[in-house]
């Protein structure tokens, strides 16, 4: 990873409470895994920055090196790497994502989170 890519990634996760590195954008995801995580965040009303890794090969590889995580999407909350699609799905269904958002002071709709859990019960 180049220093420039590392600096851009660090700046993005420092300047935004919630960041999703994904394939596509939150309005137009370009893979199922990115779509699932963006869908959860969008439904829960979370304000987040989306970074389209397909638009920048340096960032696409750089984020994998930065987090030491091989896949995309990748979710960061308050500068901390949380995980990819499977982890975010599990955290949503268990209520752990709500707790993380509560602990970090991130605004979201608890009603929407409850609806996701009810629909997947």
Query: Which tokens go with 34?
Result: 């990115």
What is d(CA 76, CA 58) in angstroms, rounded to the nearest whole number? 18
Residues comprising the binding site?
31
What is d(CA 100, CA 92) in angstroms, rounded to the nearest whole number? 10
Contact between 67 and 90 under an 8 Å Cβ cutoff? The reply is no
Query: Which tokens go with 82?
Result: 């949380």
Residues comprising the binding site for [2Fe-2S] cluster?
31
Tell which residue, 121, 120, 117, has the closest CA to residue 44.
Answer: 117
Q: What is the DSSP string of 44-78?
A: TT---EEEEGGG-HHHHHHHHHHHT--SS-EEEET
């Amino acid at each position: 990873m180049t220093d420039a890519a590392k600096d851009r990634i660090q700046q993005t996760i420092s300047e935004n409470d919630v960041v999703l590195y994904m394939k596509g954008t939150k309005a137009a995801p370009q893979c199922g895994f990115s779509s699932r995580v963006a869908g959860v965040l969008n439904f829960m009303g979370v304000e987040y920055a989306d970074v389209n890794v397909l638009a920048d090969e340096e960032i696409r590889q750089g984020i994998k090196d930065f987090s030491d995580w091989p896949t995309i999407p990748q979710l960061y909350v308050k500068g901390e790497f949380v995980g990819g699609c499977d982890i975010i799905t599990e955290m949503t269904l268990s209520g752990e994502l709500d707790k993380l958002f509560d602990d970090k002071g991130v605004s979201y709709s608890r009603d929407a989170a409850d609806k996701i859990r009810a629909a997947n019960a």
